[in-house]
């Protein structure tokens, strides 16, 4: 039988889709593109914003219109938080949440035999206690992603994810080692470690016989020692995790890519408090200082929300000034989007759409200028790049470089110029 997948949302969602795809392939199913005829369509949904909810519903409806007799399966964060609503959508025959994906093949087979959507059996995410292990799946033929953590306990005022993903859970060190060795044996040069709240890795794990509880630094040391892996890249981190110990340990690991994505969200302390973020701009600044002190060539990238509830013009200017001061290598900017069910949604002082969009545009322009300056500073340096299939590759500090070579090769190049934010590399002649 034929099955098709599509995914909305974050790297974790994409990882889980690829894992489900592999489970069906192992069971003998024919995996086809989402636009192709199929007997089953799986939509891995996202609920980070109302726009994500709408896109999730649209994709579910699209699948039903394409093949009215097919089974449409909804899984992921929107399916978790709005199971009853999703189950009532035309054509949806099975609703899964953010857990239990290892049983999806059996659940789909059962749904096909019974047909008609029964009441969704989606347990409350806050009751999930174990990490669901899914096999490591490739991002591309050169880079793989490994999910090592799930869930979040932070409850930022604008975010629904703790309710969609549940409490923090961590993959065991033994499982991580098995997956890393498997990826190395399959020829992947780079592994991206990802999770919903990566910095919380290990906090709920039992300590070993010596009383040590593993954390993300232990995972990095483990990955650095795997023969065959050339690069380890980290997903998003909380700034307070980047203390002196982390900076020193990270600098001592030659395989760790010198790119650190530290979520900022706002450069105003008053906005950070309304967001219920667990750090101040002073603590963020210190985290960046420690990273750059031990790894001067590192790139610091970030996310910023423009136009949060009650954000004044002064608070917006504080964010602009702080971003300029830090000198980010890249900024992902998102206009604030109301999310029902969050504390921020009930706050007073929501901004007009035009104001949010104008502030987002200003931050995007600043981010482009800072990224251009960062790429400019790489000119004249020698860098190793991992080549992809489009004639470009990425340095360890996440600069996109155009250079000659074959997909999957790691080449040492000299950066000789740039085109916008893409660097131009020439192969070093001293090799």
Q: Is residue 129 part of a domain?
A: no
pLDDT, one tens digit per residue, over 331-365 is: 999 999 999 999 999 999 999 999 999 999 999 99
Of 97, 103, 93, 102, which is closest to residue 70 (Cα–Cα)?
93
End position of a domain, from candidates 123, 145, 165? 123
Instruction: Give 282-297 as a DSSP string.
Output: HHHHHHHHHHHHH-TT
Q: Domains in the chain: how many in total?
A: 3
Q: Which residues contact 315 (CB under 8 A, 6 or more apart)?
A: 266, 268, 270, 271
Residue 321 parent element (H or E): helix 313-326
3-class secondary-structure state, position 342: coil
Are 185 and 313 part of one and the same domain? yes
Which CATH number covers residue 253?
3.80.30.20
At which of 80, 99, 123 does a domain end?
Answer: 123
Question: Does residue 174 lie in a domain region?
Answer: yes
- Listing DSSP states for 101-158 in one string gives GGGHHHHHHHHHHH-S--------GGG--S------EESSSSEEEEEEEE------TT
Task: Identify the pLDDT of residue 139.
Answer: 54
Give CA–CA dist 182/139, Å, rounded: 15
Same domain? 330 vs 390: no
Phi-psi label, residue 341: left if phi above 0, alpha if psi -120 to 50, beta otherwise: left
Q: Are residues 162 and 58 in the same domain?
A: no
Angstrom distance (rounded) from CA 238 to CA 161: 16
Residue 287: name the closest of 248, 235, 244 by CA: 244
Q: Are residues 234 and 257 in the same domain?
A: yes
> Within this chain, do residues 96 and 213 fall inside the same structural domain, yes or no?
no
* Mean of all residue pLDDT scores within the chain: 94
Burial of 102 (0-12, 13-18, 19+ CB in 10 A): middle
Mean pLDDT in consecutive groups of 10 residues from the start of the chain, 431 residues:
95 93 95 95 94 95 94 96 93 92 94 73 81 72 90 96 95 96 93 96 91 96 97 96 97 98 98 98 98 98 98 99 99 95 96 98 99 98 91 95 91 96 88 49
Cβ within 8 Å of residue 221, ≥6 positions away: 249, 253
Asked if residue 386 and residue 369 are part of one domain, the reply reads no
**pLDDT value at position 137?**
61
Reduce the DSSP state of residue 430 to 3 states and report it. Answer: coil
Domain identity same for 113 and 203: no
Identify the pLDDT of residue 125: 82
Q: Which of 94, 123, 152 is the last residue of a domain?
A: 123
Integer Cα distance of 328 and 299 in angstroms: 7
Q: Domain check: are 349 and 401 in the same one?
A: no
Report yes or no: 397 and 384 within 8 Å, Cβ to Cβ: no
Residues 185-211 have pLDDT tens digits of: 999 999 999 999 999 999 999 888 888
The pLDDT of residue 122 is 83
- pLDDT for the residue numbered 126: 83
Range of the domain at 276: 137-377
State whether 152 and 272 are in the same domain.
yes
User: Is there a single domain that holds both residue 189 and residue 316?
Assistant: yes
CA distances (Å), origin 176, targets 180, 216, 222, 252, 309: 6, 11, 9, 21, 40
Predicted confidence (pLDDT) per residue in 243-300, tens digit: 999 999 999 999 999 999 999 999 999 999 999 999 999 999 999 999 999 999 999 9
Distance CA 246, CA 259 (A): 14
β-strands 400-402, 40-45 pairing? unpaired
DSSP letter at 189 equals S
């Amino acid at each position: 039988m034929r099955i098709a997948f599509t995914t909305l949302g974050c790297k974790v969602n994409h990882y889980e889709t690829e894992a489900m795809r592999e489970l069906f392939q192992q069971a003998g199913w024919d995996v086809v593109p989402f636009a192709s005829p199929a007997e089953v369509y799986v939509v891995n949904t996202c609920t980070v914003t109302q726009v994500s909810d709408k896109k999730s519903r649209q994709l579910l409806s699209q699948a039903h219109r394409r093949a009215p007799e097919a089974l449409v399966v909804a899984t992921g964060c929107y399916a978790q938080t709005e199971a009853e609503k999703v189950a009532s959508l035309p054509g949806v025959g099975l609703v899964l949440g953010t857990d239990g994906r290892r049983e999806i093949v059996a659940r789909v087979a059962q749904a096909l035999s019974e047909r008609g959507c029964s009441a969704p059996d989606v347990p409350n995410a806050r009751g999930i206690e174990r990490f669901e292990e899914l096999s490591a799946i490739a991002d591309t033929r050169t880079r793989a992603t490994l999910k090592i953590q799930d869930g979040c306990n932070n409850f930022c005022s604008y975010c629904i994810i703790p309710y969609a993903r549940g409490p923090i859970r961590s993959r065991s060190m033994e499982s991580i080692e098995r997956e890393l060795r498997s990826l190395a044996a399959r020829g992947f040069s780079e592994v991206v470690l990802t999770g919903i709240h990566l910095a919380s890795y290990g906090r709920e794990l039992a300590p070993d016989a010596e009383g040590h509880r593993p954390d993300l630094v232990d995972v990095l040391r483990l990955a650095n020692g795997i023969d065959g892996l050339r690069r380890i890249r980290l997903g998003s981190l909380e700034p307070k995790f980047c203390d002196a110990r982390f900076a020193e340990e990270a600098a001592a690991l030659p395989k760790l890519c010198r790119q650190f994505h530290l979520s900022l969200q706002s450069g105003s302390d008053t906005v950070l408090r309304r967001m219920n973020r667990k750090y101040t701009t002073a603590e963020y600044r210190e985290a960046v200082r420690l990273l750059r002190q031990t790894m001067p060539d590192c790139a610091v990238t970030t996310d910023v929300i423009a136009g949060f509830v009650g954000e004044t013009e002064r608070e917006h200017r504080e964010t602009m000034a702080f971003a300029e001061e830090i000198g980010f290598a890249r900024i992902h900017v998102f206009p604030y989007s109301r999310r029902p069910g969050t504390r921020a949604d009930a706050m007073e002082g929501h901004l007009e759409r035009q104001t949010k969009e104008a502030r987002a545009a200003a931050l995007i322009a600043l981010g482009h200028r800072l990224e251009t300056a960062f790429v400019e500073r790489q000119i004249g340096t020698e860098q190793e790049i991992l080549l992809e299939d489009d004639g470009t590759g990425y340095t360890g500090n996440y600069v996109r470089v155009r250079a000659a070579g074959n997909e999957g090769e790691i080449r040492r190049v000299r950066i000789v110029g740039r085109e916008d934010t893409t660097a131009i590399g020439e192969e070093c002649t001293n090799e």
